[in-house]
Structures are given as C-alpha cells and as structure tokens.
Structure 1
C-alpha cells in the first residue's frame, strides 16, 4: 500500500471566521468521499499578516456561531461534490 500523496489531496471549498481565525473546509483525497475539516486556526500578527496555522483546539461560542451560520452552505457543497455513481 502506497503512502499519502499530497498531489491527490484537494481542498474543494474553504470558509474562514474573521473573528477567530477558524478555518472550515471540504477536502477530498483522490477519488474518496469529500469530508469536512474543522481547523486549523489562522490568527493574525500585530502587523495584520497571518501567523502560522495552529490547531483549532476547543471551539468558542463565536466559532460555533460561525459554523451554525455556514452549515447549510457546507451541506450543499458536500452534496454537490458527491459522486452520483458512488
């Protein structure tokens, strides 16, 4: 069995919470089922540039509100990316 191939890993859609830096994305590996990933978290430096990604960790009420607001978009995007033959 071959190992992980980053060339086969695709990010199909991404949402970013401007308040908390939390990223939510839909990813697909090779021809596998698209799946939702919560995290990482990209915080801002004092100069306004992005810091290195950090684990999402525990979610705040702001994070949950953000996910709640975009959950229908996430569901629709997942459904649109499903293989009808799959």
Structure 2
C-alpha cells in the first residue's frame, strides 16, 4: 500500500477569517470526494507577518459567527465540486 502523496492533494478553495486567523478550505485527494477542512489557524505576529499555522482547536463565538456568515457560499462551492449523487 502506497503512502500519502502530496502531489495528489489539491486545495480547491479557501476562506480565511482575518479577525481570528481560522481557515476553511475544500481539499480533494487524488480522485476522492472533495471535503471541507476546518483549520489550521494562522495568527499574526506583532510585526504583521503570519505565524506558523496551528491547529484550529476550539472555536470562539467570532469563529462560529464567521462560519455562519459564509456557510452558504461554502456549501454551494462544495456542492459544485462534489456533483450530484
């Protein structure tokens, strides 16, 4: 059985909450079904540059409200790439 191949892992779309650094993205591995990923979280350093990505961890109310605001767009995009069942 072959291991993970990063060449087969495609990011199809991405949304980032500027306030909290949380990232939602749609990924597809090889010919598999596209799926939504919650995280990582990319926070800013004091100088304004990005820190290293970290796990999303627990979601704040700001994260939840941001997801609530964009969920229809995310759902539509995921539905478009998954196609009819």
Q: Any residues of structure 2 matched to 1:57-68 within 5 Å, and which?
A: 57-68=57-68
Per the normalisation by structure 1, the TM-score is 0.94
RMSD: 1.1
Number of residue pairs matched by the alignment: 85
Name segments (4+ residues, structure 1) moved above 3 Å: none
Kindly report which structure 2 residues correspond to 1:3-82, keeping only aligned pairs within 5 A, or say none. Answer: 3-82=3-82
Distance, in Å, in 1 between the alignment partners of 2:55 and 2:44 is 14
Q: What TM-score, normalized to structure 2?
A: 0.95
Unaligned runs of 5+ in 1: none
